[in-house]
Structure 1
Amino acid sequence: MSTNLKVTLAIVVAAVVALVGVMVVNRDDDLTPQAASEMLVRGDSHRLSSAADGKTTVVEFLDFECESCLAAYPAVEKLRAEYGDRITYVVRYFPIPSHPNAYNAAHAAEAAARQGKFEEMYKKLFDTATVWGHQQQSQVAVFEGYAQEMGLDLARFKADAASAEVAARVKADAADGESLGVRGTPTFFIDGAEFDDRPSYESLKAAIDRSLAS
């Protein structure tokens, strides 16, 4: 490869990277507070608890196959048990494409949600993540087994999990996350502001307590 060609290619690559960066910055900067608020919690977003006063809202963008999400899960469950309906806790899908069954797991959760069992499937997927997670082969049959254990209509569950409608619902959550600047999981937002500390029980509790006290 000639020196001139190498220089030309380097310039092109740099220009593309710069353009992508500008697009990302412009996209984030264009969001008004109202638009960001609407993207954080949609009308069909899954709420594991709802505060009557609507004061403190925690939103988690997660991937059921993400090891960091699994690590944060016990802290989240402890906080949910502690605060109950004093806070609104919202779960949004953000499957990571490099995780072989991230989308299948999200589809399973959404299919269960359509039979009123989102929270049960949410817990089951995390409680068993070390069994099905990071397997190269499809875990769809495993998720169908969970649905059967929960007493769901299995034929309906299978049809929903494989449907274009459920796929679009999961992708819509992920698209909101991308527009809000989510780049990995878990990403938490508390009262509209991105939580930038490590999501331990102590750090999340401190942030929640500050919100409740304000």
Structure 2
Amino acid sequence: MTRNTRLTLALIAVVVLVVGGLLAVNRPDHPPAATTDTGAIESTVLVREDSHRLSTAADGKVTLVEFLDFECESCAAAYPAVKQILATYQDRITVVVRYFPIPSHPNADLAARAAQAAANQGRFPDMYVQLFENQTRWGHQEQPQTELFLGYARALGLDLPRFQRDLDDPATATRVAKDKADGVAAGVQGTPTFFLNGRRLTDLRGQDDLVAAIDAALAG
């Protein structure tokens, strides 16, 4: 074997190792979610038994799922539309919220844990409102906003010692992480991401597009 041949083989081996390493690093921790025959994401991934519902339709015909980050400005921008949809459709559709905190948002995970700690006392919808309506006060702050979130819990009349314990409980972090894992499996890459009856809604330009999609699902 000539020297050039040996060098070529060595170079090929290096390339194979580098590519293999990149594939290992970029391989998702969670496998993609299964889809139905119609291409929709399996409902068991998008909506778990313990998922938080802002409204529930008795007929189960239409379900809107939002993966969100409480610190995300785009999620805050979408919040009024979701609020209006809840007021308009009430119990005609099911609206589900899933956690998907973005690592670059310093208080996103803490906010999700605050919402979950409130949920443990049956007050998720109220903390959901507090976090979004006050996002400009606590969002994009480098320091943990624990005291502010405790203030929201106090304003809601929650059991503060229990709220504080749950906020710091590893089980709460695990609960948030389970939502995010489902989001990753469903192909969520950013927030907010909406799914209507298992299908991801793309190219949403505003509330009118979301309303039109819901109306079409109700009529179908």
Identity %: 53
Q: SS state of the match for residue 54, structure 2?
A: strand
SS at match of 2:67: strand
Whole-Å Cα distance in 2 between the matches of residues 51 and 20 of structure 1?
A: 42
Structure 1 stretch displaced more, 191-200 or 166-175: 191-200
State the match for 1:27 in structure 2. Answer: 31
Q: Distance in 2 between the 1:202 and 1:110 partners?
A: 30
Per-residue deviation, 1:197: 1.9
Structure 2 length as normaliser, TM-score? Answer: 0.87
Does structure 1 residue 191 correspond to structure 2 residue 197?
yes
Give the paired residue count: 208
Match of 1:148 in 2: 154
- Structure exhibiting the larger radius of gyration computed from Cα positions: 2
Q: Structure 1 residues 6 and 71, CA, compared in 2 at 3 Å: closer, same or farther?
A: farther
User: Which of 118, 136, 140 is the equivalent residue of 2:124?
Assistant: 118
SS in 1 for 2:42: helix
- 1:164 corresponds to 2:167: no
The answer to whether the 8 A contact 2:41-2:186 is kept is: no
Unmatched runs of 5 consecutive residues or more in structure 2 = 1-7
Partners of 1:11 and 1:193 in 2: how far apart? 37
Q: Which residue of structure 1 lines up, in the alignment, with residue 85 of structure 2?
A: 79
In structure 2, do the counterparts of structure 1 residues 37 and 199 end up closer, same or farther at CA, with 3 Å as the change threshold?
farther
Corresponding residue number in structure 2 for 1:137: 143
Counterpart in the other structure of 1:102: 108
More helix by share: 1
- How many angstroms does 1:27 deviate by? 3.2
SS at match of 2:96: strand
Gaps of 5+ in 1: none
Structure 1-normalised TM-score? Answer: 0.89
Q: Deviations over 1:110-160 (max 9, x none)?
A: 000111110000000000000100000010110000000110000000000
1:22-52 deviation per Cα after TM superposition (whole angstroms, max 9, x unaligned): x45x932x62439721010000000000001
For residues 175 and 108 of structure 2, the distance between their equivalents in structure 1, rounded to whole angstroms, comes to 14
- Matched residue SS, 1:107: helix
Gap change, CA 1:87 and 1:35, over 3 Å in 2: closer
Change (3 A) 1:53 1:132: same
Whether the 8 Å contact between 1:93 and 1:174 is mirrored in structure 2 is yes
**Distance change in 2, residues 1:19/1:84 (3 Å):** same
CA contact (8 A) 1:72 1:199 kept: no
What secondary structure sits across from 2:31 in the alignment?
Answer: helix
